[in-house]
Amino acid sequence: MGLIDQDTIDLGSGNKILTLSLNNPESRNSMTREMGLEFKKTIESLLDAPEKSKPRAVILTGKNGIFSAGGNFELLKSFSTKDFETNKKTMFEFYNLFLTVRRLDIPVICAANGHAIGAGLSLAFACDIRIFANEGKYQFNFVKLGIHPGMGSSYIVKELFGTHMANRLLFLAETLTGDEALRAGLCNDSVPQKEVLGRATEIAIALSESAPLALSELKKNTYDREKLEAALKKEAESQARNFISADFKETIKAIEQKRKPEFKGI
């Protein structure tokens, strides 16, 4: 069992649905480089597979009653000890590991079966369809940690929901429940946690009844990969500047001391 679990649902006639599960129980499915490398390898294996053997849809979910707590604390802490250029390169490469999901020519449904925070919520928004848990908490907490939003969120949220909603989620860092996210139009459905995967499976089966080539072409025309790539470069540069700031060092101390950080803008 790795950091990315795989399960297959056989639909008959050679058709199937693939479920990928984030599985890092020690840190609430936080996103590490090791997880990202495994995720990228899994996605690339789907990209390289013969058309007839590809699943008709992919479901992305989380084990351990949570989708993802976002960035791993030890990884974040390590950035405060590195220089600007190293961090800029590292962040750009790190986010691209997970955002390979945007390259898939197969519909991807995010079954966010629990909390999705920071980069974890960004990954959910990088999918085509989202099912949230009523009880889950969904938040972009980047600015609360003293860093610019990452994982493509500064572009993807605006691309999907417009500038007004992007400012609400990224500037104010609001925490929404699944029900609140549904009312705001951020997900396609919100159901009790135990029903999230089942609801996502229903949608995956419905998608499997459509022509895969048509869906593949639709995906190619829906998203602007060049603009996302440009946004990732800007995010990496901005975060690299933040990582060497006094405010970010204060964030690390505050987390370790279990208190609110006191930012001074330096």
pLDDT at 246: 96
Identify residue 217 by its one-letter amino acid code: E
Identify residue 208 by its one-letter amino acid code: S
**Per-residue confidence in pLDDT tens, the chain, 266 aa:** 689 999 999 999 889 999 999 999 989 999 999 999 999 999 999 999 998 899 999 999 999 899 999 989 999 999 999 999 999 999 999 999 999 999 999 999 999 999 999 999 999 999 999 999 999 999 999 999 999 999 999 999 999 999 999 999 999 999 999 999 999 999 999 999 999 999 999 999 999 999 999 999 999 999 999 999 999 999 999 999 999 999 999 999 999 999 999 999 99
The domain limits of the chain are 4-214
Where on the phi/psi map is residue 95: left (φ > 0), alpha (ψ -120 to 50), or beta? alpha
Matching residue, tokens 């990228």: 40
DSSP letters for 162-205 = HHHHHHHHHTS---B-HHHHHHTTSSSEEE-GGGHHHHHHHHHH
How far apart are alpha carbons 201 and 205 in whole angstroms? 6
Q: Please report how the helices 84-98 and 33-48 are oriented relative to each other, as an axis angle in degrees rounded to 10.
A: 40
pLDDT at 1: 60
Q: What is the DSSP letter of 65?
A: T
How far apart are alpha carbons 39 and 189 in whole angstroms? 25
CATH number of 4-214: 3.90.226.10
User: Measuring CA to CA, which residue among 112, 132, 151, 168 is closest to residue 234?
Assistant: 151
pLDDT at 13: 87
Counting Cβ atoms within 10 Å, is residue 15 exposed (0-12), middle (13-18) or buried (19+)? middle
Beta strands in 31-159 (DSSP E): 57-62, 108-112, 116-117, 129-133, 138-139
pTM exceeding 0.85: yes
Matching residue, tokens 């898939």: 104
How far apart are alpha carbons 160 and 227 in whole angstroms? 13
How far apart are alpha carbons 14 and 33 in whole angstroms? 34
